Amino acid sequence: MKPFLYQVAALFYARYGVDVSRLAFVFPNRRTGLFFQKYLSEVAKRPLFSPAILTINDLFARLAKRQTADRISQLSLLYSHYPRLSGTDDSFDDFLYWGELLLNDFDDIDKYMVDARQLFRNLSDLKEIEREFDYLSEEQIAAIRSFWSHFNKQVDAPNHRHFLALWQILFDLYTDFRAALAAEGKAYEGQLFREVAEQEEAFELPYEQIVFVGLNALSVAEERFLDRLKQQGIADFYWDTCSEKVCDPDNRASYFMTRNVV
């Protein structure tokens, strides 16, 4: 049996021939794209212009028309706002641990299109979470309950007090940090994803069609973006549904496959 990527390459070359160069193919990573190009050349058996080979991160960056700031630059910029908002004199070295956590949290907040103001409210009352965050699943509620129980057992721990103090400034830190990055024409990855997913006008892309191949475990921002492209009639999707792991209901990959195909 031919490899999945070979089958995709053969399908599109048979359909478009040398005009396959007018398409864009989006893969989970660059390595997959290289294998696709190899198979496309084998199928064509002749020189041809390659279609655009992208990752989904590449596509978001092109649509947002901004560059992703490197990690050190993000930490430095985040720290430049931290002392003013927190009222502390923590050194950059002391801040690094919290800074790394915050960057990861901010990235997740935007990729999953969370209401940051609501999220960063004082969450000490678990009943308030269960009442007002009614969109959370039972598993998410259980995870939050476990999280706060862990900290409640360590009320006097310095890290716990630091965390609670930090919680109070998180929304201002989040908004100031995002604005400062935007002023420099930069962004972190989740910020790019959210801005593109929230874009109201139709996407203008220099491709006749965008083919998404083998994407898995998509964030909310990615799902909304792909759905918009599908509604515009320029997106096509391919998954290796014959894979043994994907067909196994006990394998988590099958959960994402079912979700994506539906």
Give me the sheet containing 52-55, strands edge to edge: 52-55, 23-27, 209-213, 235-238
Amino acid at 6: Y
Say which range, 122-136, 156-170, 241-255, has the weakest mean pLDDT.
Answer: 122-136
| Predicted local confidence at residue 126, as pLDDT | 43
Q: Which of the listed ranges 85-89, 173-177, 215-219 does the model predict with the highest average pLDDT?
A: 173-177
Distances (CA, A) of 89 to 9, 82, 120, 204: 57, 9, 23, 47
Helix boundaries (H) for the chain? 4-16, 30-44, 56-64, 71-86, 92-111, 116-119, 126-132, 138-152, 158-167, 170-183, 189-197, 220-232, 244-247, 252-261
User: Is residue 27 predicted with pLDDT exceeding 70?
Assistant: yes
- Which residue would you say has higher pLDDT here, 132 or 75? 75
Using an 8 Å Cβ cutoff, are 190 and 111 in contact?
Answer: yes
**104 CA to centre of own chain:** 11
**Contact of 31 with 216, CB cutoff 8 Å:** no
- Each residue's pLDDT tens digit, 56-110: 999 998 898 888 999 999 999 999 999 999 888 889 998 999 899 999 999 999 9
